[in-house]
Structure 1
Amino acid sequence: MTDTTADPTSGRRTRDEQPIFGDTPEGSHIWQRVPYDPDDYGPVEDYRTDFDHAWPEYNATAPEVWKELREGGCPVAHSDRYGGMWAPITHETVHEISYDTDHFTSRAVIVSVGRPGDLALPAPIGGAPPITSDPPFHAVARRLLLPAFAPKQIEPWEDEVRRLCVKLLDEMGDITPGETVIDAAVQYAQHIPVNVIGRMLGFPPEDEALFRKFVHDALERINEEPGTREGLSDLGEYIGRQIDDHRENPRDDLTTYLLNVEIDGTPATDDMVGGMIVLLLIAGVDTTWSAIGSSLWHLAQNQEDTQRLVDDPDVMTFALEEFLRAYAPVTMARLVAEDIDFHGCPMKKDDWVLLPFPAANRDPLQFEDPDTFIIDRAKNRHAAFGLGIHRCLGSNLARLELKVAIEEFVRRFPAFELAGDVRWSVGQVRGPRELPVRILQVAD
């Protein structure tokens, strides 16, 4: 973002001085390198002492990994990968770290093999506020975005999302029940949030494939050598062009709104606006399409739940929260702000700490029969949208997209089943990237 600790409201800064987003040059004092050997990122031998959420088999089996760790008496796993990383997996430990902003900083929230130096993403602002911001600035940045995601702003999108879902289903063409196989992730789930957030930001609809590439570069290529992820620089350049275009041609969209926000009467810098757009574009795309895909993955294997949604549409009120609990997609990260002994774990400054909210949602001390999907579960205070000050500000939009996507898919296809191997994502957002399902019934 920027290599200055100056007041973020001190005036606009040109992108010639610093890129809005991207890897910094090798050896830079801004991004600190850790010893890197690609051989260190091979198969996981023991998740207790060698945890790696980017090992390709992890997301496919994550609930089993969490259960084995908990039942084996390991509430906090560790790894020497990524220069040192901890992974609490109980609701209690995830909750405690989420609320402890003194010992755990949010200035970097995506684990990678590097470390942001003190000048790279300075606290309390960080690179993508408010998700990378610490108190007290966090509250300031969050207040800038909250009005755009208030219920009264999101509710009018329901008809638009519904039309989009119907259009995607129509584009699947003729369906022969019992024979036709579609990819519910590639052809359906991944298009919904990409389209919606792109339209909210006022970005060209033809760039949707580019958005998905940005997501992949930012979230899935985390164990590559620092400085090799050119796609992150591409993202910064792209957002810079969009900011320039919106400044020259303002319109009624979220980007123009952000360009006009002020902090204590001073316009936000381009760095800050660009960082908030990074947050909305990355967090607003992969998280929701992963939630939609995981929910359809569940229904493809549990026809009784699909039938319940068909017979009793009102059960969606409870089912929606259960999909979020059981298949929460998001794991966030923190950096240890100062050395701390955390329940016997000697955490060192700048160690990574994962916050797997999906694991917290499977803790039997917090939820009855947590590994069972109960479609009408009544007591469901899940952590799918996070815990603490960084609870997802886009939760209203995510709920709307997930609800409508499931409703329209089930309305069109009242019966469907898995039809092949599922490919899961890699990294901190868990969801199916490829989801082949065979359509068994098409609604009249």
Structure 2
Amino acid sequence: MQPHAIPDHVPPGLVRDFSYFRSPGMARTPNGDPQAALSFVHYSGPPIFYAPANTYDGRGTWVITRADDQRRILQNPETFSSNRGIFKAALGEDLPMVPLEVDPPDHQSYRALQNPLLSPKRVDAMEAGARERAVRLIEGFKAKGSCEVMNDFAFPFAVGVFLQFLGVSDDRRDEFLGWADDQFHGTLEKRLAAMRTVVDFMRGLLEQRKREPADDFVGFLLQAKVKDRPLTDKEILGIAVLLFEAGLDTVAAALGFDLCHLAKHPDDQQRLRDDRELIKPAVEEFFRAYSTVQMLRKAVKDYDFDGILIKAGDLVSCPTMIANRDPAEFPDPDRIDLARDNNRHTAFAYGPHRCLGSHLARRELIIGLEEFLARIPTFRIKPGTAPLTYGGHVFGIENVVLDWEG
């Protein structure tokens, strides 16, 4: 993809050779640490800079590095819109991902509608099923003495919880795994084809629930109202597709990074085995240290950012993995402290579009680590193998091969 020209209003001194795809540590790297690889921006150069060709389609973005500055951007949806028309650009279909691509004031109505679906109470009700899935997966490979975390546990677990939420049979799990793999890690052609397949599946599920009502996610949306009117089919599809986009790869990647860390740091692994109460704060620290997403916003009007002009139409990136390594926010930010105090990480973003699924994601990570540590003896990275990490719009990890004795 050819990079777009650098806009005339961008000062040459603020242009930086930076990319989530091509900077050092962003390509598939054995035993890499892509989050730490980007922390250098806090120690050299300005806190805001322009990165050409910093998107899949070759566009440049402003990059905001400091946590406090990112909060300024993310709390200002009047200037920095979340509505970028992802599916319209990719598939030519006007399908806004609700509520992510709906800005205030309309955003509040959709958010209030969906809050009960992902509330702590709802997550509590899902816990038994999620824990049963984790146990079943772990017991399936425990006796082998080895597993590849992503394929054997992280993705099947995340997809299984997603299917439970949708009210869809586990029989569809392998299909969803394939779609998720193509969409998040495939070529551009595979990504587009998977996106289309997911939209078509959700459309078919919607039509089925119209014929055969059920007490599940889509059934709830069919009965719901926003501003005293029923949701349109397009709105229901947008909500369902966003859930797929946001809830699979991110949770699976988090599990992969967490278990990889524990395999490489036996002292931390033993601490969690000795003190299970430490798992909850450890999950928060892992969210901070191994953040995987960046929030991309589009300026809808000119904005003076401390004397720097961000013009209407500019893309602005707020990467969580950089904010969460900000030394002004976190003492010794590159050290992983499982009991870190006052952990104000932004792994779930900030402002009105803060992640709706944060309660469920936290619970999935806690359940995953609790059951893995309870059922698998002390584990390590299998000799002769090396996890592969990579950057991109969503950071990821693969080939996490663990082994253990007993």
Q: Which residue of 1 aligns with 2:18?
A: 51
- Which of 231, 247, 250 in structure 2 is aligned with 1:284? 247
2:238 is equivalent to residue 275 of structure 1: yes
2:263 is equivalent to residue 300 of structure 1: yes
Q: Note the C-alpha offset of 1:307.
A: 0.5
Q: Note the C-alpha offset of 1:232.
A: 2.1
Structure 1 residue runs of 5 or longer lacking an equivalent are 1-35, 41-46
Q: CA–CA distance in 2 between the matches of 1:228 and 1:327?
A: 24
Q: Which residue of 1 aligns with 2:34?
A: 62
Two-structure CA RMSD over aligned residues (Å): 2.8
- Which of 302, 305, 313 in structure 2 is aligned with 1:342? 305
- Which of 85, 98, 101 in structure 1 is aligned with 2:61? 85
The structure carrying a bigger helix percent of its residues is 2
- Go from structure 1 to structure 2 and tell me whether the alpha carbon gap of 1:228 and 1:356 turns closer, same or farther (over 3 Å shift): closer
Q: CA–CA distance in 2 between the matches of 1:435 and 1:37?
A: 33
Q: Note the C-alpha offset of 1:401.
A: 0.6
Further displaced range: 414-423 or 283-292 = 414-423
- Which of 26, 32, 47 in structure 2 is aligned with 1:75? 47
1:136-172 CA distances to partner (integer Å, 9 max, x unpaired)?
1110111111011111111122222221111111111
Q: CA–CA distance in 2 between the matches of 1:405 and 1:436?
A: 17
- Go from structure 1 to structure 2 and tell me whether the alpha carbon gap of 1:181 and 1:173 turns closer, same or farther (over 3 Å shift): closer
- Go from structure 1 to structure 2 and tell me whether the alpha carbon gap of 1:116 and 1:187 turns closer, same or farther (over 3 Å shift): closer
Q: Which amino acid aligns with 2:372?
A: F
Q: CA–CA distance in 2 between the matches of 1:172 and 1:352?
A: 45
Q: CA–CA distance in 2 between the matches of 1:130 and 1:219?
A: 21
User: Is the contact between residue 109 and residue 333 of structure 1 (CA under 8 Å) also seen in structure 2?
Assistant: no
Q: Which residue of 2 aligns with 1:172?
A: 141
Q: Which amino acid aligns with 1:315?
A: L
2:93 is equivalent to residue 127 of structure 1: no
How many residues of Structure 1 are paired with residues of Structure 2 in the alignment?
A: 387
User: Is the contact between residue 285 and residue 337 of structure 2 (CA under 8 Å) also seen in structure 1?
Assistant: yes
Q: CA–CA distance in 1 between the matches of 2:278 and 2:214?
A: 40
Map 1:36-435 onto structure 2 (within 5 A): 36-37=1-2, 49-55=16-22, 57-58=25-26, 60-81=32-53, 82-108=58-84, 127-172=96-141, 174-175=143-144, 180-220=145-185, 224=188, 229-419=192-382, 420-435=385-400
User: Is the contact between residue 15 and residue 52 of structure 2 (CA under 8 Å) also seen in structure 1?
Assistant: no
Normalising by the residue count of structure 2, what TM-score does the alignment of the two structures yield? 0.87
User: Is the contact between residue 331 and residue 354 of structure 1 (CA under 8 Å) also seen in structure 2?
Assistant: yes
User: Is the contact between residue 387 and residue 398 of structure 2 (CA under 8 Å) also seen in structure 1?
Assistant: yes
Same amino acid, percent of matched pairs: 30
Q: Which amino acid aligns with 2:300?
A: A
Q: CA–CA distance in 2 between the matches of 1:135 and 1:210?
A: 36
Q: CA–CA distance in 2 between the matches of 1:215 and 1:38?
A: 27
SS at match of 1:358: helix
Q: CA–CA distance in 1 between the matches of 2:66 and 2:122?
A: 35
SS at match of 1:53: coil
- Go from structure 1 to structure 2 and tell me whether the alpha carbon gap of 1:228 and 1:37 turns closer, same or farther (over 3 Å shift): farther
Q: CA–CA distance in 1 between the matches of 2:26 and 2:307?
A: 26
Structure 2 residue runs of 5 or longer lacking an equivalent are 6-13
